[in-house]
Amino acid sequence: MLSLRKTSLAFALSTATALLFSACGGTHDDSNGSPNTPPVTPPVTTPDPSKGGAISLHGIVYGAPDTSVQADAGIPITMMGQMRALFDLIKKAPDFTQVVMDLGDGNPVHVLDTNTGDKFLPGKLALGLSWILIDMKSKGDPAYADYLATYQKITTAMMTQTNGANYMYANTSWGEYYYLVALNNFKAHGMLNEVFSDAMLATLQSRLTFCDMFGADASGKTNTCPAAGTSIDVASLNTAQNYYAVSYGIAGLRQKLGWSNPALSSTSDATVATMGARDALLYTLTRHIRNDSSGGFSDEASNTHTTYYDQARFDRYSTLLIGEVTERTLEMGNEANLTPELKSYLRKSVDLILPQLNADGQGFNYGRSIGPYGDTAFMEVLTAAANAGVLTQQEMQVAYSFIYKAAYRYETFWYDPTLPTPSVNMWVKGRGTDTYRGKPRVMGENFSLLHQFMYVNAWWDKLGFNGKAPMADADLKAWLDAKPHYTLTWYNQPTDTAHPYSAALITVRDGKRVINLNLSQAPDYNSFTPYYPTPFSDKLIYGTTDLSYALLIPQVSYNGKTYIPVTYYKNLNVQENNGQVVVSFDTAKFRQAAKNATYASDLDLQVHTVLTFSHGEMTRTDTLSSATLTGNLSVETDFTSFADFQNTSPSGAFSVNYANSAATNYGTTGFDSCALSDFSMAAGATNPLSTTPIGQLHSNFACTTNPFALTGGGNRTLSWTLKYADAS
């Protein structure tokens, strides 16, 4: 067996333009570096003289001095160009609340009205457009005063206009944080009092707090800060645990501006009351990461756990959170509290990411809220790690090269200049995202994604990479090829009879192809395909957000209800034999296929699963058994392909061939019948099950059993084999 690496991942939303700091040392267990890595000296990279620095991260973000695209950069527009285009779209509208973005699907969106559902919109807009003002001011742009006036008009209206007792625009949590980043950036450039009046700053000081995240439930009620002499109970967080990081960022950035924070207390830990809000929130957040997993990852299932298996939604954000924490800590000048413990968690995140890196800039391919955010999560964690000094010099080169690739992918894949209103595309042309990032939030998603690339670029500029070329593709490929064939990352390891279940990620590398098998309990999302115990891989297998069907798992029908094996994982074992990676595990019960299904509705059905990964092929075998079920059950398993339905042809009753696709053949055993169908259309409209974050699924090969019983100790074995071409 190959040596196993525990890992984790993280995320950071901030801006580096306001920061100058020295990278801190760190500890990690990577074999490429010493246990006590010193502060990193920026490695030497060579710019491509034929491109004038265009083939660099900075070249993609800023381009030429006027932010136009440099020659041979291979992108349609720079990121600053995109941000300026959004500013111009708003600026030319007589009424900014009526600004429309048209994605060509027949349903244009009023992206700055009060009903977008984006409760962060004022902060996103204030931060996104601040990049343009700062750039214009630094260059002495004669149009600066005109753009400043537009900025002041919009920000004032959004943050001060009221409708009865309520503000017209919500701006909670992340929105408050984004706004405070903008304020600190303006202050760092000597522009704060030029952009905002004293009255406006007083309004912002009273409104940009973390109070809305504590106290009342998550019904949408906006809480007020406690009166003088009282405090907020830090345990009263009314949203997911990762919002401790958002509140920490708010408290630290308020403190950096010289603004006071609400006081915090705790009914369970008197230490909290001895700290200021900033440090109390970091203390609480560290305790969350430490206590809610055995591997240092953040459990994102809930802020209230009643049983062990409630504590097991591990996804993009679980690994991203520590990157956010690191980034906030550096951004607010709180480096002294970036402890060895936090750095060790950050290193685990790095170790989860490194085996997944690729030359195409692709990030997470499982879990919720991915798409371009799956790519930028890798980027943000690696940037935080570079700044915290937990990367070796070679890893610095690799990290920068991947981030360049992610930026290029954003410009050439996620950004679509052919839309009626050019924009990032997560919603049309076969793509789909979760309800949380619904299309009415399109303006805000452009702002937040562009900001991520801009602040990351600013950090790498400070690390000595301004205008530098990434590694040569051949060198990056050689580094990637040297990664282990598989990596096992534990989130939670079973410890005793009270805690018997496993949560882990298995990453398999087959040439250039990265395959992830994520075993995560996810009680609030496990009914949705992105959380299935299914191998996910780019352009080969992808889940559909917020929806469920029998994607490569044995979906059971019993007594008129549907059940799926998506939690209660036990006896996880991973081995490599003769070049094959073999993963086996047991599932103790089947869950009803419904969001937040009660545990009382679990089905006493067990399955022993074996997944075998070979070059160009993966096979899954499921053996079902039960000691108590008396009625008949039936099973369905589907494989949905990106291959054109017209180019898909059955090669027998139980297998199918694909053309012009990463998949080449899929076949099953143990089923009674299979049927090939067009998956992209349903009742004359686009099938919502077919829109994945990266594009539309077109064909479905569904295999089913006739009803059968599992009595007298009997069992039923079903299997599928998927063959695929090498990734290009």
DSSP 586-626: EE--BEESSTT--GGG-B--EEEEEEEEETTEEEEEEEEE-
Please enumerate in sequence order all residues whose Cβ is within 8 A of that of 19, keeping only pairs 6 or more positions apart, or say none. Answer: 188, 330, 331, 333, 462
Checking if the pLDDT of 457 tops 50, the result is yes
Q: Which two tokens stand for residue 120?
A: 């962060």
Angle between helices 174-188 and 121-138 (to 10 degrees): 20
Please enumerate in sequence order all residues whose Cβ is within 8 A of that of 332, keeping only pairs 6 or more positions apart, or say none. Answer: 249, 252, 253, 255, 256, 278
Buried b (16+ CB within 10 A) or exposed e, 307-346: ebbbbbbbbbbbbbbbbbbbbbbbbbbbeeebeeebbbbb
pLDDT, tens digit, 9 for 90 and up, residues 67-118: 999 888 899 999 999 999 999 999 999 999 999 999 999 999 999 988 888 8
SS3 572: strand
Checking if the pLDDT of 19 tops 60, the result is no
Residue 210 contacts residue 173 (beta carbons within 8 Å): yes
Please enumerate in sequence order all residues whose Cβ is within 8 A of that of 210, keeping only pairs 6 or more positions apart, or say none. Answer: 173, 176, 246, 247, 250, 251, 262, 277, 281
H or E stretch including 424?
strand 423-424
Checking if the pLDDT of 442 tops 50, the result is yes
Tell me which residue has tokens 């282990």: 484
pLDDT (average), residues 662-670: 97
What integer pLDDT is reported at residue 223 of this predicted model? 67
What integer pLDDT is reported at residue 6 of this predicted model? 31
Handedness of CA 117, 119, 120, 121 (dihedral sign): positive
Question: For the chain, what are the domain ranges?
Answer: 26-34+49-481, 493-724
Burial (CB count within 10 angstroms: exposed 0-12, middle 13-18, buried 19+), residue 142: exposed
C-alpha closest to that of 586 among 493, 526, 668, 502: 502
174: Cα within 13 Å, side-chain hemisphere: 16
What integer pLDDT is reported at residue 190 of this predicted model? 97
Which DSSP category does 225 fall into? P
pLDDT, tens digit, 9 for 90 and up, residues 50-59: 444 568 999 9
What integer pLDDT is reported at residue 165 of this predicted model? 57
SS3 670: coil
CB atoms within 10 A of CB 170: 19
Q: Which two tokens stand for residue 660?
A: 């012009």
Looking only at Cα atoms, what is the longest distance across the chain? Answer: 84
CA distance 303 to 292: 10
pLDDT, tens digit, 9 for 90 and up, residues 371-402: 999 999 999 999 999 999 999 999 999 999 99
pLDDT (average), residues 189-208: 96
SS3 467: coil
Return the amino acid letter for 417: P
Q: Note the CATH number of domain 493-724.
A: 2.70.98.70
Please enumerate in sequence order all residues whose Cβ is within 8 A of that of 310, keeping only pairs 6 or more positions apart, or say none. Answer: 301, 302, 521, 523
Return the amino acid letter for 591: R
Average pLDDT taken over every residue of the chain: 88
What integer pLDDT is reported at residue 499 of this predicted model? 75
CA distance 178 to 241: 19
**Confidence at 7, pLDDT banded by 50, 70, 90:** very low
Q: How large is the C-alpha radius of gyration of the chain?
A: 26
CA distance 112 to 282: 34
pLDDT, tens digit, 9 for 90 and up, residues 21-36: 333 333 333 333 333 3
Residue 131 contacts residue 83 (beta carbons within 8 Å): yes
**Confidence at 37, pLDDT banded by 50, 70, 90:** very low
pLDDT, tens digit, 9 for 90 and up, residues 312-353: 788 999 999 999 999 999 999 999 999 999 999 999 999 999
For the ranges 214-228, 332-346, 663-677, the lowest mean pLDDT is seen at 214-228
Residue 135 contacts residue 450 (beta carbons within 8 Å): no
pLDDT (average), residues 284-309: 71
With vertex at residue 616, the alpha carbon angle to CA 611 and CA 621, rounded to the nearest 5 degrees, is 20
Q: Cα dist. 494→220, 294, 570, 583, 611 in Å?
A: 37, 9, 8, 17, 20
pLDDT (average), residues 231-256: 92
Q: What are phi and psi of 306, to 5 degrees?
A: -105, -25
CA distance 447 to 85: 11
Checking if the pLDDT of 684 tops 90, the result is no
What integer pLDDT is reported at residue 34 of this predicted model? 30
Please enumerate in sequence order all residues whose Cβ is within 8 A of that of 485, keeping only pairs 6 or more positions apart, or say none. Answer: 2, 508, 509, 576, 579, 581
Tell me which residue has tokens 């430490």: 290
What integer pLDDT is reported at residue 714 of this predicted model? 87
**Confidence at 356, pLDDT banded by 50, 70, 90:** very high
C-alpha closest to that of 487 among 517, 512, 511: 517
**Quick one: fold of 26-34+49-481?**
Glycosyltransferase (1.50.10)
CA distance 440 to 121: 11
**Confidence at 3, pLDDT banded by 50, 70, 90:** very low
What integer pLDDT is reported at residue 46 of this predicted model? 47
**Dihedral angle computed from the Cα positions of residues 62, 331, 314 and 616, in that order, rounded to the nearest 10 degrees:** 30
CA 538 distance to own-chain centroid: 15
pLDDT (average), residues 667-682: 95
What integer pLDDT is reported at residue 644 of this predicted model? 92
With a threshold of 0.95, does the pTM exceed it?
A: no
Return the higher-pLDDT residue of 600 and 414: 414
Burial (CB count within 10 angstroms: exposed 0-12, middle 13-18, buried 19+), residue 179: buried
pLDDT, tens digit, 9 for 90 and up, residues 492-549: 888 777 778 889 999 999 999 999 999 987 777 888 999 999 999 999 999 999 999 9
Return the amino acid letter for 512: K
C-alpha closest to that of 45 among 61, 62, 30, 57: 57
Return the higher-pLDDT residue of 37 and 458: 458
pLDDT, tens digit, 9 for 90 and up, residues 475-488: 999 999 999 999 99
Checking if the pLDDT of 183 tops 90, the result is yes
Residue 611, beta-bridge partner list: 583, 620
